Chain A
Amino acid sequence: MKESLRKNFTLILAFTLPAILIIGIAISVYLPSFFISTNYNFIYASCGDNIDNYSRNCNTYLSNKYTVENGKISTLEDRTANIDNSNQEYSQTGTSTLKKVTESPKYEVRLFFHDTAKNESREITLEEAKLFTLNNLITSPDGVSITGSYNSGSDILVFGGGRSSFGYFLTKGNSKLKLNIINTNDRYYYQNNFKFIGWVIPGRTNN
């Protein structure tokens, strides 16, 4: 056995070196995700399947539509109900000025509850969403943030060819965990098809 190992040392080394490199890369990529967790779930909105060519504006639309006021989700309709009942929407800029924007029915908006312990989302109704107390800071009370990252796909060497996508991650320091969120068309032009609304408080340990 020893003799065989000694005889084939260079051959073994030739296969071991790339294997060590691959294992090293895998550890450096996957290990940090094991150390990131948050006790807080969150709610987000996403535009549905019937998005048109201008769906890159979805994020703006969602930002206008949903805000968190006094710890509760508030829709544009709620805020403008007393002002105008026509097919027009208003968004507030500053503290007192209401700017009129035309609402076009081009986005079908869906709301989701993301369970960070299971890393899975489920769709919820607006009424359900209104029951949660929310914190709209992008960083959770235990210091974990949500960030988006563009991924141009795995290239064939320098020639490209990878399929691009836009991913969202839980991050804390160098630790990073990819979120399994539901926003089906989130690639290239559709990379803004995600609107973080708020962390659900209290967290799991406080339940």
Chain B
Amino acid sequence: MNKEELLQELSVKVKTGEISQQELIDRFDINHRNESSTEPTQKSIVSNLSTTKMLYVLGALIVVIGIIIFFYQIWEDIGSPIRIFTTLGLGFIITALGSILIKSKPQESIGLVFHFMGGMLIPGGALVMLSELNIVQDTAWPIAITFGVISLFYILINYVHKNFVLTLFTIANMTTFAYFTVAAILDGSYYSNDTIYQYFFMIIGVSYLLLAHTFRSGWNTKIVGLLCFFGSIALFGAGFIRVMDSETWHILYFVLIFCGFYLSIFIKSHAVLTMSTIFLIFHMSYITGEYFADSIGWPVSLVVLGLVFIGLGYISINISKKYIHN
């Protein structure tokens, strides 16, 4: 296969959607090379692109908020079919437009903006539909099944378009599906099953971190930071609530946090490092209050805690400099 054939083959694959342009850019590091070769002109183009993208995102948010406010104002005056159409229907129409735009203008981000708006409207619209059709009863199963269907829908369009925005909505909808499945099985309130929900969120946190590790290369790199951030909040946050409920977790939480530090180095994540440090500070404060404040007194405890915080900050910065930046 000569160069021309190879390029033609690649062009066909891009056209059919088998390979996305983003994948090629990520694989061959095209942006990076372009920036270094033609730095002055490229920089201004990148800057313009970023401004354009920001305007896209801002515009999309304003559109979604505008739609919500508009229909909130006329909500009582419209019937069920229009309520469903203006939320779920509009969500699907905007998503379809997004897909058409991605296909027709693959170089531009406008398609993703439409997908973002659609992704914001579809889950809410599905809940409106359940409510209007009076499907929501005493059980959470209808909501769980609905989010399961939405997740499948996003898996399907993500398989076609291979884009990080769609991956984000796939993950968000799958998380909601998992949550309501657990709620439906437990058939009770959050507070009556809080321990199970705490472990559930810890597992979700681990899943997000695993996804972040998987997405380090490929077309989902842009959401790695976000997944690390929310993953570590879910894991360490839910773990910290366990600390308050269980004495065993007073010790186990240290192990969890140090695993977090190790992970932050392993996957080179600032988000995980920051969250590990913050939650270690929380834990140290809690342990001090629980075991030492009464014996050595709060003033001395605060002095020790302050020094510990400074130490942790120093260690965290050093880990960041030594292992993550490099």
A: residues with CB less than 8 A from B are 8, 10-11, 13-15, 17-18, 21-22, 25-26, 29-30, 151-155, 157-158, 160, 162-163, 165, 187
Contacts and interface: CB of A to CB of B under 8 A. Distances in A.
A160 B138 contact: no
B239 to A, nearest CB: 15
A55 B181 CA distance: 34
Given A21-B200, A163-B137, A154 B181 contact: no
Interface string B183-198: 1111111111000100
A30 B208 CA distance: 28
A25 B211 contact: no
Given A22-B178, A165-B138, A151 B211 contact: no
A29 B186 CA distance: 7
B188 to A, nearest CB: 5
A13 B137 CA distance: 34
Nearest to B190: A155
Nearest to B209: A14
B214 A155 contact: no
A22 B190 CA distance: 16
**Lowest 9 CB-CB distances: which A-B pairs, in order?**
A154-B140, A154-B183, A14-B210, A152-B189, A155-B190, A14-B207, A11-B214, A10-B214, A10-B210
A26 B188 contact: no
B56 interface: no
B207 A29 contact: no
Nearest to A26: B185
A154 B207 CA distance: 23
Given A152-B189, A154-B139, A154-B183, A11 B178 contact: no
B185 A25 contact: yes
B185 to A, nearest CB: 5
Nearest to B227: A14
A155 B181 CA distance: 12
Contact of A10 (B138, B180, B183, B213): B213
* Listed residue (A14, A17, A25, A29) with the most chain B CB atoms within 10 angstroms of its CB: A14
Contacts of B210: 10-11, 13-14, 17
A155 B203 contact: no
Interface in B162-218: 178-192, 196, 199-200, 203-204, 206-208, 210-211, 213-214
B188 A151 contact: yes
Contacts of B179: 157
B122 to A, nearest CB: 17
A203 B203 CA distance: 46
B178 A158 contact: no
B189 A162 contact: yes
27 contacts: A8-B214, A10-B210, A10-B211, A10-B213, A11-B211, A14-B206, A14-B208, A14-B214, A15-B207, A17-B206, A17-B207, A18-B178, A18-B200, A18-B204, A22-B178, A22-B182, A25-B182, A25-B196, A26-B185, A151-B192, A153-B138, A154-B140, A154-B180, A154-B183, A158-B190, A158-B191, A162-B140
A89 to B, nearest CB: 35
B242 to A, nearest CB: 15
A3 to B, nearest CB: 16
B214 to A, nearest CB: 4
B188 A154 contact: yes
A193 B121 CA distance: 41
Contacts of B206: 14, 17
Given A10-B213, A155-B183, A18 B207 contact: yes
B189 A154 contact: yes
Given A25-B196, A162-B189, 14 more contacts: A14-B211, A14-B214, A17-B203, A21-B182, A21-B203, A22-B181, A151-B138, A151-B192, A153-B138, A153-B188, A153-B189, A154-B186, A154-B189, A155-B189
Contacts of A15: 207
Contacts of A187: 138
Nearest to B193: A25
Contacts of B182: 21-22, 25
A188 to B, nearest CB: 12
A10 B216 CA distance: 12
Contacts of A11: 210-211, 214
Contacts of A157: 179, 190
A47 B287 CA distance: 54
A34 to B, nearest CB: 15
A157 B175 CA distance: 12
A25 to B, nearest CB: 5
B187 A154 contact: yes
A10 B137 CA distance: 37
A11 B203 CA distance: 14
Nearest to A11: B214
A33 to B, nearest CB: 12
